[in-house]
Amino acid sequence: MTKDESFDWVERECGACQACCQVMGIHELGKPEQQRCPHQCKKGCGIYEERPGSCQAYRCRWLHGDPNLVQRDRPDRLGVIFDNHSALQGELQGLKYIVAREVRPGAFKGKRAARWMRALEEDRILVWVNFAGDNKVTGPVELLKELDKRQAAAEAEAEDSAPE
């Protein structure tokens, strides 16, 4: 999924998926995370032409067209939304990570989602799993230990530089 970003991206449409409308918080609407948007309807978004900027801007990695995520990995089916912008770009204390938003709690442990977890582990990428604002970082044990070490060092440095 992540090693080679030079693949051919696939043209996709959201279709019947409305996973991000449920999962994402939309500040313009005062809509919290993990709450159905009042504008969701059978055909998709009831205010599509006038939908808020946050909605217009958001494209998950599946929609963006990562060919490693196949049709059945569409977020409403997979139960997990991989953010696109964070892929290979995010750094947590200098370590690479990707954001995975659970559509249902525990979905990340599902069979196919777990497959992605293994692929990310092989690529040595941490996964920031989010469900309703509850975040946890997961990944290979040695990377998690390294993250703890770097976080502790950063905290110690912040304490040292704090005014007396």
Binding region for ligand SF4 (CB under 6 A): 14, 17-21, 26, 37, 39-40, 45, 47, 51-52, 55, 58-60, 62-63, 74-75, 81
| 19 versus 147: smaller Cβ distance to ligand SF4 | 19
21/52 Cα distance (integer angstroms) = 12
Burial track 18-38 (b if 16+ CB lie within 10 A, e otherwise): bbbbbbbebeeeebeebeebe
| 63 versus 98: smaller Cβ distance to ligand SF4 | 63
Q: Report the nearest approach of ligand SF4 to the CB of residue 135 (Å).
A: 19
| 55 versus 107: smaller Cβ distance to ligand SF4 | 55
- The residue type found at 69 is L
153/147 Cα distance (integer angstroms) = 10
Q: Report the nearest approach of ligand SF4 to the CB of residue 133 (Å).
A: 17
